[in-house]
């Protein structure tokens, strides 16, 4: 208790002012850390979902190529039919999917 009495008034005010600055800053930084942790978790979830979607759609491109190959005779037959029945100018609309 002797130490409390010996400490000057200016030292107590400095200690109080420091505490009034440090405590709110500490609370604010802890809240920022919590928010960044939540954002990090959400971004990780989004990345995992995007990777899952990419993995599940890996078969789409080969499937489309196979479908295009199988539909080539149909396209040729439609073009021939349109050419024989086209009115006047004989132009055929290109129906290929790109």
Domains of the chain by residue range: 15-85
Task: Give the global pTM.
Answer: 0.48
10 Å CB burial of residue 24 (0-12, 13-18, 19+) is: exposed
Spatial distance between the Cα atoms of 42 and 55, rounded to a whole number of angstroms = 20
53-76 per-position pLDDT tens digit:
988 888 877 888 888 888 888 888
19-61 per-position pLDDT tens digit:
999 999 999 999 999 999 999 999 999 999 999 998 888 887 7
């Amino acid at each position: 208790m002797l130490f409390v009495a010996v400490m000057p008034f200016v030292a107590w005010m400095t200690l109080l002012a420091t505490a009034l600055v440090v405590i709110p800053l500490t609370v604010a930084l802890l809240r920022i850390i919590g928010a960044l942790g939540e954002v990090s978790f959400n971004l990780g979830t989004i990345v995992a979902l995007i990777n899952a979607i990419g993995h599940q759609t890996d078969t789409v491109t080969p499937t489309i190529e196979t479908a295009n190959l199988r539909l080539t005779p149909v396209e040729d037959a439609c073009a021939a039919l349109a050419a024989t029945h086209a009115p006047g100018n004989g132009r055929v609309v290109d129906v290929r999917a790109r």
